[in-house]
A and B are shown apart, each in its own frame.
Chain A
Amino acid sequence: MTAPSTRPVRKRTGRRSAGSASDRRDRDASRHGGGDDRPRAPIRTRSLTKRYGELVAVDHLSLEVQAGEIFGLLGQNGAGKTTTILMLLGLTEPTEGQARVVGLDPARRPLEVKRRVGYLPDSVGFYGDLSGRENLRYTARLNRISRDLAHRTIDEVLEQVGLSARADDPTETYSRGMLQRLGIADALVKDPDVLILDEPTAAIDPLGVAEILDLLRTLVRDRGMAILLSSHLLNQVQSVCDRIGIFAAGRLIGQGTMSELAHRFGDDTAHVEAGFPTDSAAGAERVREVLAAIPGVVDVTAPRRPQDPWVVGVRPAGDETRVRRSILAAAASTGLDLTSVRPLPPSLEEIYRRAVEKAAHGHARDVR
């Protein structure tokens, strides 16, 4: 065996000598036949449903996560995110419907699915009297990874999550955030094709979060992994996910990219931020008049502090660029002191709130 340095190479020389990810995909595709040469989505569900007695935890969930993308599952606690994840791993049997993970049914072939899926559970735990490295070594043994390969992989993933310095301390001395980092390392030890992360950044400090999100992006870009992550931290989901699924009461009430979601759940209003520092009430009144006079502007919000920018609502949203130009022109013609103009990106928080409200008003069927 050669001494490979990068993960994709190692993949071919290591335990999966049968073929690279692309070979496997070809095989999967040909097995399913039908002349479909598009690579199969590593995660697919169709009408996946889980009931606990009367309670419907997951209700006819259909979603796809492609290789090379991060899909964010967004929802409140108890919305069914974790149950969905457990079904994808074959740890809970669906009441109805189907799931396919790496082309396999997790309920029937859980071992093969779990071999290729890395999973970070919600509030992950480790054996406190063992060191971080020993904990990962146990995971490697359970995955039947040879000792040499495990040794190298563990060093690598510990480095990736920034735990190398503390790797030989018992995990009971770790902080919550460190445990979560170790959990991500643990999910990566088996060199997975799919990564499923349940609340991956819940306990990590803001700087650490940025590192972890960078790591996830790198994994997707360099390794073509498919990542499904669940979270209730909206801005993190917004910053890292390619596509987002909004979950409420077991139902997926919307999925797509940020702009798709904004389009579907927005009220066709865009927002523009304009800095007009004012030092008097009269000045502020003047700014308000000027802004409100611009065609397409539907509302004007004054800043709470005078030095902060004003926010104007624009409808239809397509007029946003024209309105920005008009603001510049108005500033020039009126002589008002304009310090900045920029479009406000749609906030996921807003979209999420609207989506949940819409679903609660019984429109769930049409938004799907």
Chain B
Amino acid sequence: MTADSPAVGEGRRHAEGETPSSRERSVPHAGWMVVAGKEFADHLWSARFVVLLFVLGVAALIPMYFAADTIRSAASQASAVSSVFLYLFTLAPNVGTSGVQLPGAWSFVAIVAPLLGIAFAFDSVNGERANGTLPRLLSQPIYRDDVINGKFAAGLAVIGLVLTFVVGVIAAFGVIRLGIVPGAEELLRITIWLLLTFLYVSLWLAFGLLLSVLIRRAATSALVAFGTWLLLTFFGGLITQLIGGFVAPQVGTPDQQASALSLQQTITRLLPDTLYREASAAILSPQVASVSTPATLGGYEQLAQRIPSLQSLDQSVLLIWPHVITMLALTAACFAIAYIRFMRQEVRA
């Protein structure tokens, strides 16, 4: 299309009482799509895309290779169980007879996924700055937010592509090698898990984008991003436990202890990693009936008396709803800060 078509919503910008009659004055507001298109193509041709696809693919396939036997026997025994297909994602397999237990595929994804978000965002704005392309880009007839919106959109598209590919590989492996076919509900659960993972990676993408706006050097912003990822993923649990122990020590009556434990869990939920893991568990394992520890002793008794049963999909979704909202809010917050800071930054370094 050409610039000759009048843009929707352009009229309000004619504040000086001039009629938008002349066609040359209409500027379609689709600059972000051009930026996104270019960024997306760049990502697809970049070495980091290939490397990440490979790493994620291997991370997903290795546990499955070892899980295959276990799943086969489980499938033959439990033909009534409706969720065998989900085992592909959740089963933590033993490696041969050595007794070493690998994490399941979903656990691998939980560890590696943030890298995906960081890798496609950490140098998006400061890279342009360092290249000297930012002033040139901003002197084109696009709004300034088109740049950051386009970059975020391109990042989301690439992430979606990679995650869909990886989940597709796992599912195809299950269908072809193990001969198990997913039911409708399993497919839905996997799709929801895919969206959940997408959201989690988006959070890291927005965080990477924020760093790329705040930090002038791409190397520094990469270091900060990977440092944060390392800290939250591997030491986050320890740190929040430590804080939880100080804030709510487990002393006193069993009831008090139970409520202290519940508070500690709330603190660990400050970590996006925890949010994602809890939500994944609830979606991929229908037997998970609750993601929260009871706050009273009575709650534990109820839990013990509960008849183990499989949750229906809507029950599982209800369970993770707060997690989804929190992750969405965190993503929006990161992006909003990045957006505002970018809009206010001087063009020159």
**Which A positions have Cβ atoms within 8 angstroms of B?**
15-19, 24, 27, 31, 82, 86, 89, 91-92, 108-112, 114-115, 117, 119, 121-129, 138-139, 141-144, 146, 183, 186, 190
Contact = CB atoms under 8 A, between A and B. Distances in A.
Interface string B8-35: 0000010110100011110110110011
Given A17-B4, A17-B23, A108-B15, A141 B136 contact: no
B179 interface: no
Contacts of B220: none
Contacts of A139: 136, 140
Interface stretch (B127-135, B235-243, B253-261, B329-337): B127-135
Contacts of B42: 127, 129
Interface of B: 1-4, 13, 15-16, 18, 22-25, 27-28, 30-31, 34-35, 37-38, 42, 45, 131-133, 135-143, 346-348
Given A18-B22, A142-B31, 19 more contacts: A18-B24, A24-B24, A86-B348, A91-B138, A91-B347, A108-B16, A109-B13, A111-B142, A114-B140, A121-B139, A122-B135, A123-B132, A126-B133, A127-B131, A141-B37, A141-B38, A142-B142, A143-B141, A144-B3
B3 to A, nearest CB: 5
B139 A111 contact: no
Nearest to B37: A141
Contacts of B348: 82, 86
A311 B241 CA distance: 87
Contacts of B1: 144
B23 A18 contact: yes
Interface centre among B16, B137, B139, B143 (most CB of A within 10 A): B139
Given A16-B24, A112-B25, A124-B132, A92 B141 contact: no
Contacts of A86: 347-348
Given A86-B347, A115-B27, A125 B140 contact: no
Interface centre among B23, B28, B133 (most CB of A within 10 A): B133
6 contacts: A15-B4, A125-B136, A129-B42, A143-B141, A183-B136, A190-B140
A19 B21 CA distance: 12
Nearest to A14: B2
When A and B form their complex, which 5 residue pairs have the shortest distance between CB atoms, in order from nearest? Answer: A125-B132, A121-B135, A142-B140, A115-B141, A119-B139
A304 B17 CA distance: 68
Interface centre among A15, A122, A125 (most CB of B within 10 A): A125
Given A91-B347, A92-B347, A144-B3, A111 B143 contact: yes
A141 B34 contact: yes
Contacts, number: 99
A141 B35 CA distance: 9
A111 B27 contact: yes
A124 B348 CA distance: 12
A82 B37 CA distance: 30
B346 A92 contact: yes
Contacts of B3: 15, 115, 144
Given A109-B13, A114-B141, A142-B31, A91 B23 contact: no
Interface centre among A27, A92, A109, A190 (most CB of B within 10 A): A109
A141 to B, nearest CB: 5
Nearest to A128: B131
Contacts of A183: 136
Given A82-B348, A127-B133, A186-B136, A142 B24 contact: no
Contacts of B24: 15-19, 24, 115
B148 to A, nearest CB: 15
A91 B136 CA distance: 11
A139 B140 CA distance: 7
Interface centre among A112, A115, A142 (most CB of B within 10 A): A142
B27 A143 contact: no
A44 B314 CA distance: 64
B140 A112 contact: no
Given A31-B18, A138-B38, A125 B139 contact: no
B197 to A, nearest CB: 29
Contact of A142 (B34, B132, B347): B34
Nearest to B346: A92
A183 B131 CA distance: 13
Nearest to A105: B16
Given A91-B135, A144-B2, A186-B136, A111 B22 contact: no
A245 to B, nearest CB: 21
A10 to B, nearest CB: 13
Given A15-B2, A123-B132, A125-B132, A89 B25 contact: no
Contact of A125 (B15, B23, B131): B131
A183 to B, nearest CB: 7
A146 B2 contact: yes
Contacts of B22: 18-19, 27
Contacts of B15: 108
A144 B136 CA distance: 16
Contact of A143 (B30, B35, B38, B140): B140
